[in-house]
Amino acid sequence: MSNPIPRPVAARSGNPVDAHVGARVRLRRRLLGLTQVQLAEALGLTFQQVQKYERGINRVSASRLHDMATVLGVPESFFFEDMPVDLLARAPSPTVEAATSPPSSSAEHLSTAETLSLVKAYYRIADPRLRRRVCDLARALGESESTG
């Protein structure tokens, strides 16, 4: 019996797009107050598989992404929202094996307790116009911090 050929390290480190999708899965799961075990059970997976998806180690297939969107109550496009413009440039070409960059700092910010608390409070605002004004205010404050 022959030994399998070991895979290069880069193949196991994941793709930046997969990391972004995984971060969005984690964000939505946490916003709903679900554990990895609960999400895994709803999808018919192990919690370790959910961990690998959330870390971007394993790529999410189209059918699995559809199942996740259904369970998490979002459109499939949710997982690709807020993707940094430079992310695709950092992703390896499908025809070239290359080392990938770590997930962007914006993906890391999405999963902090402070961010989750802010997003939950934001969605508790019933009036869509008021929600929009809060969003505009936060954006304006963030811009004034970066320019000042």
Report pLDDT for 103.
39
- 29 — phi, psi (to 5°)? -60, -45
Averages of pLDDT over each 10 residues, the chain, 148 residues: 45 74 94 95 96 94 95 91 73 46 51 76 85 84 72
Report pLDDT for 90.
64
pTM: 0.58
DSSP string, 104-139: PHHHHHHTSHHHHHHHHHHHT---HHHHHHHHHHHH
Report pLDDT for 100.
39
Class of the CATH domain delimited by 9-104: mainly alpha
In the chain, where are the structural domains located? Answer: 9-104, 112-148
Report pLDDT for 94.
54
Report pLDDT for 66.
95
